[in-house]
Amino acid sequence: MTDTSGDTITETPLRIRRATIDHLRPVVELDARITGQAKPEYWADIFERYGSRRVDQRFFLVADAADRPDEPALMGLIVGEVRGWEFGSEPCGWIFAVSVDPDQRQKRIGEKLFRAMCDEFRNVGINTVRTMVQRQSTLHMSFFRGEGMVAGPYIQLEMNLDDA
Ligand SMILES: CC(C)(COP(=O)(O)OP(=O)(O)OC[C@H]1O[C@@H](n2cnc3c(N)ncnc32)[C@H](O)[C@@H]1OP(=O)(O)O)[C@@H](O)C(=O)NCCC(=O)NCCS
C-alpha cells in the first residue's frame, strides 16, 4: 500500500492535507472519542483561527483516506503555528495538538503528520520545532522522542493562585 507521495506507510492509502470546514464534524467526533469530551465550539474556533487566518504561519493538517475524497474518513490531525519573540525566542514552530484515530494507531500516521508539519515549518524558513507534553503522558513523550525531539532550553513555571 502506498500514500499519495509514494511511501509505504500504512495499509490504507493516506493523504495529508490542510483541514477544510468539511473536516470540522469528523475532528470534533475524533477528539470526543479520544478525550471523552465533545468540544464543538472550541474546534470551530480553532478552524476559524488556524484554517482561514494567517495560513502562511498556521497549519491545521489532517490525514484521511485517499481513496474516499468526497467523504473525509479522518484518521488523524495535527495543529501547529509559527510563533516568534515570546519568551525571548527566535520564531519557531509550535505543535499544539496531534491525534490519531485509536483504530489506526502504530501505522506511522502520527509520524507522517509530524513530518508534514515539520515540512510546513521548513517551507517558511523555520528550523526549530517545539511542543509541550504532560509529564505523565508517556505516549506523547514516546512519540515525540521517537520523532527526534529532545528537552529544550526552557523550563515551564506555574503557580496555583489560590495558594499565593
Ligand atoms: C501519539 C500518537 C499521535 C501516535 O500516533 P501513531 O500514528 O500511533 O504513531 P506512529 O505509528 O507514527 O509511531 C511513531 C513513533 O511513536 C512512538 N509510539 C507510537 N505509539 C506508541 C506506543 N503505543 N507506545 C510507545 N511508543 C509509541 C514510537 O516511537 C513510534 O516509532 P517506532 O514504532 O519506530 O517505535 C497517537 O498515539 C495518539 O493520537 N495518541 C493520543 C493523543 C491525544 O491524546 N490527543 C489529544 C490531545 S492533543
**Closest C-alpha to 80, from 26, 40, 44, 116:** 116
Within 8 A by CB and 6+ apart from 66, the residues are: 3, 4, 13, 14, 15
The span from the CA of 30 to the CA of 75, in Å, is: 8
Which residues lie with the beta carbon below 6 Å from any ligand 1 atom? 34-35, 97-100, 105-111, 139-140, 142-143, 146
| Domain boundaries 14-146, corresponding CATH code | 3.40.630.30
Calculate how far, in angstroms, residue 76's C-alpha sits from the geometric centre of ligand 1. Answer: 11
pLDDT in tens, the chain (164 residues): 334 444 444 456 899 999 999 999 999 999 999 999 999 999 999 999 988 888 899 999 999 987 776 666 899 999 999 999 889 999 999 999 999 999 999 999 999 999 999 999 999 999 999 999 999 999 999 999 999 999 999 999 999 999 87
Span from the CA of 102 to the centroid of ligand 1 (angstroms) = 10
Model pTM score: 0.90
CA dist 147 and 137 (Å) reads: 16
